Amino acid sequence: MRYYCPNCWKDFWGEDFEICPECDYNIKEFDNKDYVDKLINALQHRAGEVRHWIIMILAQRKEKRAVPYLEKLRKETKDPSLVRAAEEAIRKIQAVG
């Protein structure tokens, strides 16, 4: 089985660690976070397609808590498709009122 650290996104084959050996993040504590916090965390994933999926889910759920993180992603990424996706998601979330 393949495991990932939700902090540094290092992947590990065959071992399920409590503490990431790469960045010392407590992976088991991550399980206690709520779904939206996990989605927001995944905006930092190294794979652009994962971030696109996360942006889409946050927009569909109209998660207002995600707006500051989407704005940060929009400002920091060099990927124009992620910029556009984040901008569209922010507009959709803020249109709710």
Residue 2, helix vs strand vs coil:
strand
Write down the pLDDT at residue 64.
96
pLDDT band at residue 97 using 50, 70 and 90 as cut-offs: low
User: Mean pLDDT throughout 7-17?
Assistant: 82
pLDDT exceeds 90 at position 27 = no
**CA distances from residue 34 to 6, 24, 40, 69, 84 in whole angstroms, order as listed:** 14, 21, 10, 16, 27
Q: Model pTM?
A: 0.83
Distance from C-alpha of 9 to C-alpha of 5, rounded to nearest angstrom: 5
User: What are the chain's domains?
Assistant: 1-32 (no CATH), 33-97 (1.25.10.10)
Q: What is the pLDDT of residues 34-80, one digit of tens each?
A: 999 999 999 998 888 999 999 999 999 999 999 999 999 999 999 99
Token pair, residue 28, equals 């088991």
Write down the pLDDT at residue 14.
74
